[in-house]
Homo-oligomer: A and B are copies of this chain.
C-alpha cells in the first residue's frame, strides 16, 4: 500500500476538479499561472492562516478545519459589509499526508465556499512539516464599507451572537473532549458523554471548530448605513474593542450586566475552571460582529433584532481606552486577549 500524496500536478488536478465552477465571473480558474476574474469596482481583500499546533491540532477533523480556514476569512469580509466572491488557498502539507485526509479538507473548503457563494480560483502547494492553510478571500465591498475608524462619541456599542462559547469549546478540546463523526461527544477517555450533557458540550465545541461568519449581518449593517464602525470578534471582545477605539480615536464604556455571555459559561464554570465574565471579555474566536451605531440609526438596528441576535453592551465616549461598569463601579478594562506573539 502506497502512503502519502501523489505528485504535485496530480493533486492540483484533483483540486481543480473539486473546485470547478461555471460562474461567469471566473474567466480562468485553478490550473493556470494566475486566475482571471471579472471584478467589481470596489474589491474587499483579506488573508488569514490556520497553522497546526497554533490554530488547530494535528488530529482535528480535516473537514471542519477546511470550513474554518475559509470561514475565518469570510468573517473579515463580514466585518466590512462585503459580499464574498473568490478565494485562493495556499496549502502546506506533510509529504506523508493521507490522500483521504486531503480529500476531507478539500470537502470542508468546498462546503463552506458553496454555502457563501465563494469560488475557489487558485492556490499553491508546499510540502511542510506542519500543516498550514493560508487563505485569501476577495469580495465586493459595499459603497460605504464598515471601517474600524468611524465610531463617534455617543454611538451605541453592539455585539452579535454570544460571547465566550468558542473559548469554552477550546477548554473542552484541551481537556480531551472530542466530537465524533457521528456528532457524539466523546469524553477524554473516548466514552460517549451522556445524552443529557452532550448537546451543550457539542455546541461549545462546534463554536470553536466550526465558526460561522456573520456575512448577512455585515451586509445589512453596511447597506443600510446603520453602523458607523465594525470589527469581528476574533481575539476577544476586549482586544477587538480596543482596536476599534484606537482606529476611531474614541473610548468606550461597557456594561458588564449587558454582555451576552453564552448561557453555558455559567453551567460549565466549575467543570472547566472558567470565570464566565472573563471568558466573555477575553475569550477569542466567537466571530460575532462588534459595531457602533449612531443615535439616529438605533431604531433601525432594533428592527434587525428579529433577524439577528444583537445586544447593546455599551456606549462610545470621548475618553481614551475602555471602561467596564460592574455592580455600579466603573474601572478600566485591561487591553488583553489573544496575541500570536505572547511569550
Nearest CB in chain B to that of A3: its residue: B343
Q: Which of A46-54, A182-190, A193-201, A308-316 forms contacts with chain B? A: A46-54
Q: Does A320 contact B (CB under 8 A)?
A: no
Nearest CB in chain B to that of A86: its residue: B45
Contact B38 A41 (CB under 8 A): yes
From the candidates B31, B45, B89, B141, name the one contacting A121 in the complex (CB within 8 A).
B45
From the candidates B6, B89, B147, name the one contacting A32 in the complex (CB within 8 A).
B147
Q: Does A36 contact B (CB under 8 A)?
A: yes
Contact B126 A32 (CB under 8 A): no
Question: Which residues of A are at the interface with B, using a C-beta cutoff of 8 A?
Answer: 4-9, 11, 27-28, 31-49, 51, 53-55, 76-77, 79-80, 82, 86, 88-90, 92-93, 95, 121-130, 132, 134, 136, 138-139, 141, 145, 147-149, 230-232, 243, 247, 339-343
From the candidates B28, B136, B149, name the one contacting A136 in the complex (CB within 8 A).
B136
Docked pose: A44 CA to B5 CA in angstroms: 29
3 shortest interchain CB distances as A-B pairs: A34-B46, A33-B79, A39-B43
Docked pose: A122 CA to B88 CA in angstroms: 15
B residues less than 8 Å from A123 (CB atoms): 47
Docked pose: A126 CA to B72 CA in angstroms: 14
A79 CB to closest chain B CB (Å) equals: 4
Contact A130 B129 (CB under 8 A): yes
B residues less than 8 Å from A7 (CB atoms): 339, 341-342
B residues less than 8 Å from A126 (CB atoms): 49, 51, 54-55, 340
Contact A134 B86 (CB under 8 A): no
Contact B130 A32 (CB under 8 A): no
Nearest CB in chain B to that of A31: its residue: B247
Contact B41 A46 (CB under 8 A): no
